[in-house]
Chains A and B, each alone.
Chain A
Amino acid sequence: MTITADPGTGKRTAGGNLPGTAPRRRRSGRLRRIGLPYLFLLPALVLELLVHLVPMLIGIVVSFRELTQFYLRDWTASPWAGLDNYAVSVDFDAPAGEALLASFATTCLFTVASVGLCWLLGTAAAVFMQETFRGRGFLRTLFLVPYALPVYAAVITWAFMFQRDNGIINHVLHDQLGLTDSPPFWLLGDNAFVTLLVVSVWKGWPFAFLIMMAGLQNIPRDIYEAAALDGAGTWQQIRRITLPSLRPVNQVLVLVLFLWTFNDFNTPFVLFGKAAPASADLVSIHIYQSSFQTWNFGTGSAMSVLLLLFLLVVTGLYLLFTSRGKKATDGH
Chain B
Amino acid sequence: MAPPASFLWARRIFLALLTVFVLLPVFVMVTSSLKPLEDVTGKFRWIPSGLTIRPYIDIWDTVPLADYFVNSLIVAGAATVCSVVIAVFAAYAVSRYSFRGKRVFTVTVLSTQMFPGILFLLPLFLIYVNIGNATGIALFGSRGGLILTYLTFSLPFSIWMLIGYFDSVPRDLDEAAEVDGCGPLGALFRVIVPAAVPGIVAVAVYAFMTAWGEVLFASVMTNDATRTLAVGLQGYSTQNDVYWNQIMAASLVVSVPVVAGFLLLQRYLVTGLTAGAVK
Interfacial residues, chain A to chain B (CB-CB below 8 A): 1-6, 33-34, 36-38, 40-41, 43-45, 47-48, 50-56, 58-59, 62, 72-75, 121, 124-125, 128-129, 131, 133, 139, 141-154, 156-158, 160-161, 165-168, 170-171, 175, 202, 210-211, 213-215, 217-218, 228, 233-235, 249, 252, 256, 259, 262-263, 265-266, 269-270, 283-284, 287-288, 291-292, 297, 300-301, 304-305, 307-308, 311-312, 315, 328-332
A161 touches B86 (CB 8 A): no
Q: Is B29 within 8 A of A6, CB to CB?
A: no
Q: A44–B14 contact, CB under 8 A?
A: no
| Partner of A55 from B11, B123, B263 at Cβ < 8 Å | B123
A189–B184 Cα distance when bound, in Å, is: 60
Given contacts A41-B105, A266-B214, A332-B106, contact A234 B7 (CB under 8 A): yes
B133: nearest residue on chain A (CB-CB)? Answer: A73
Known: A202-B21, A217-B274. 10 other contacts (CB 8 A): A33-B97, A44-B87, A47-B155, A48-B112, A58-B123, A167-B44, A214-B277, A292-B220, A307-B116, A315-B114
Q: Are B122 and A308 in contact (CB under 8 A)?
A: no
On chain B, the residues within 8 Å of A62 by CB distance are 122-123, 126
Could you tell me which residues of chain B, from 30 to 72, have a CB within 8 Å of some CB in chain A?
32, 40-44
Do the beta carbons of A331 and B103 come within 8 Å of each other? yes
Separation of A43 and B247 alpha carbons in the complex (Å): 39
Supposing A128-B14, A142-B19, A228-B1 touch, asked if A38 and B99 sit within 8 A by C-beta, the answer is yes
Closest A residue to B39 by CB, please name it.
A166
Query: In the complex, are the beta carbons of A149 and B255 less than 8 A apart?
Result: yes
Contact A300 B122 (CB under 8 A): yes
Interface string of B87-98 (1 = CB under 8 A from A): 101101111111
Is B73 an interface position by the 8 A CB rule?
Answer: no
B223 at the interface (CB under 8 A from A): no
Please tell me if the beta carbons of B148 and A161 are within 8 angstroms of each other in the complex. Answer: no
Contact of A311 among B114, B262, B279 (CB under 8 A): B114
* Chain B interface residues (CB < 8 Å from chain A): 1, 3-4, 6-7, 10-11, 14-15, 18-19, 21-26, 28-29, 32, 40-44, 86-87, 89-90, 92-99, 102-103, 105-124, 126-127, 129-130, 133, 148-149, 151-152, 155-156, 159, 163, 167, 171, 175, 178, 184, 209, 212-216, 219-220, 229-230, 233, 244, 247-248, 251-252, 254-255, 258-259, 262-263, 266, 269-270, 273-274, 277-279
Can you list 24 residue pairs at the A/B interface with Cβ under 8 Å?
A: A6-B98, A44-B90, A56-B115, A56-B120, A58-B126, A59-B120, A73-B129, A73-B133, A131-B3, A141-B263, A142-B19, A143-B18, A148-B258, A148-B259, A151-B213, A166-B42, A210-B270, A215-B274, A266-B215, A270-B215, A301-B122, A304-B118, A329-B107, A332-B167
Bound CA span A233–B107, Å: 43
Q: Which of B116, B127, B129, B175 contacts A54 (CB 8 A)?
A: B127
Q: Which of B95, B122, B233 has most A Cβ within 10 Å?
A: B122
> Please, which residues of chain A bring their CB within 8 A of the CB of B148?
47, 50-51
Question: Which residue of chain A lies nearest to B113 when distances are taken between CB atoms in the complex?
Answer: A259
Give the CA-CA distance A43 to B81 in the complex, in Å.
13
Q: Is the CB of A148 within 8 A of B209?
A: yes
Which residues of B have CB within 8 Å of A170? Answer: 44
Q: In the complex the two chains form, is A2's CB within 8 Å of B273's CB?
A: no
Determine whether the beta carbon of A211 is less than 8 Å from that of B277.
yes
**Given known contacts A150-B230, A228-B1, A265-B118, is B244 in contact with A59 (CB within 8 Å)?**
no
Closest B residue by C-beta to A57: B123
Name the one of B120, B133, B149, B278 contacting A215, with C-beta atoms under 8 angstroms: B278
- Write the chain A residue with the least CB distance to B86: A43
A40 engages B93 (CB within 8 Å): yes
Q: How near does chain B come to A270, taking the closest CB pair, in angstroms?
A: 6
CB contact under 8 A between A166 and B44, given known A150-B255, A214-B278, A269-B216 = yes
A166 with B118, Cβ < 8 A, contacts A62-B123, A128-B15 known: no
Check B95 against A5 for contact (C-beta < 8 Å): no
Could you tell me if A150 and B155 are in contact, using CB atoms closer than 8 angstroms?
no
**Which of B122, B255, B277 contacts A297, CB < 8 Å?**
B122
- Given the complex, which residues of B lie within 8 Å of A153, measured CB to CB? 29, 233, 251-252, 254-255
